[in-house]
Structure 1
Amino acid sequence: MKKIILSAIFLCFSSVAFSQLLPSFQFGLKGGANLSKLSTENTFSSDNKAGYYAGLWARIGAAGIHFQPELYLSGKNTTLVSNVDPVGVENKVRFTSLDVPLLIGTKIGAAGVGLRLNTGPVVSFLLDDKQSFGQATGNVFNGRFKNQSVGWQFGAGLDIGSLGVDLRYEAGISKIGKEGYSDTRMNLFTLGLAYRLF
């Protein structure tokens, strides 16, 4: 009886390990919320504001490692407050961008439940930025932003059947500002829900 139990346990672990070695392809939809903040010089401060993202993801895996490219439309919001003259001027900025994460990760689990770890670069293409000022003098606080920026994502996810939940942090690598906010990078947290189509 003991040998049968040990054999069954060994067979179970062997099946899980073998399934990790087989090549696989998955594709699905994804959407969620983000909290974005600009890392800045002492000339102004930035508050966390909620935004959104929605798009597509794919996952190609073999030998326990997967490559996960994604493509989604993202709305990022933040409020900038001047710390120099004129002090206290607010600039509310809304970014709309097309984001392309290119992630490498691994997955641990069995029976339709799995824990994923992912990391990799993300390229953001700015589609639009809208700025609104709390005061008329805020025009001196106006800024111009680059059309493209690069960040790095770290995160984890949990898959249950066709559903998945992802939590990530994105650190800005390249500066996003050209004029007004030249030494500025975008950092954000994202929480998303994914659905696997196949």
Structure 2
Amino acid sequence: MKKLLFSAVFFLFSITIASAQLLPSFQFGIKGGVNDATLNLSNPAFNNNTRLGYLGGFWARVGALGFNFQPELYVTSKNVEISDNTGETKAQFTSIDVPLLFGGKVGAFGLGARFYTGPLVSLAINKSQSFSGALNNAVNLNYKDQNFAWQFGTGLDIRNISIDLRYEAGITKQTYGNSQTRVSLFSLSLAVPLIKI
């Protein structure tokens, strides 16, 4: 009797996990969070200070067989501060970001861990900079209108809340003075599904 009960529980558990991982699913929701951007400056004369930015928008997830595709669309603000012994430049860039992420998920019963990676295209919609000291307008960051990056991340799903931690490695080179640099960032976001099928 105990073996039969154990077998039944194990069978139901296996079906639940298989259903959660194998059957096709679709989700659509909203997300918001913060980011911490940095420039990979090759010139040791410049100091790069990070400043918090924000992100907010929409995401969708289509999954089956334990894997998923997650396209997103959100507005993000990237803030950087560059200084040397003559002054500082503060730059803020607002863009529409579109990551196309591929990954997998493990877990069941409303708790799961995700991992994913994929390309991101960023379309700048606002670029502003302020200068102080002798730098003035002599050295500025020429942030391009269209930029590409690659995202790596992990996420934790707790029932109807998803927490994501990501690293975004800039691919497009930006010009700062006479040097080339790339913008990279870490982001932490909270997502809630509005539709789950």
Return the TM-score normalized by structure 2.
0.91
Within-5 A mapping of 1:1-198: 1-42=2-43, 43-82=45-84, 87-135=85-133, 137-177=135-175, 180=177, 182-198=179-195
Q: Could you tell me the percent identity over the aligned residues?
A: 49
Contact 1:142–1:180 (Cα < 8 Å) also in 2: yes
Structure 2 portions without partners, runs of 5+: none
Q: Which is worse superposed, 131-140 or 157-166?
A: 131-140
1:44, 1:184 → 2: CA distance?
Answer: 12
Structure 1 portions without partners, runs of 5+: none
1:181, 1:194 → 2: CA distance?
Answer: 40
CA 1:64–1:181: 2 relative to 1, 3 Å: farther
- Cα RMSD for the two superposed structures: 1.6
Matched residue SS, 2:137? helix
Contact 1:164–1:195 (Cα < 8 Å) also in 2: yes
The count of aligned residue pairs is: 193
Q: Residue type of the partner of 1:11?
A: L
Contact 2:86–2:134 (Cα < 8 Å) also in 1: no
1:9, 1:133 → 2: CA distance?
Answer: 65
CA 1:170–1:143: 2 relative to 1, 3 Å: closer
Contact 2:16–2:108 (Cα < 8 Å) also in 1: no
Shift of 1:137: 4.2
Q: Which is worse superposed, 3-12 or 186-195?
A: 3-12
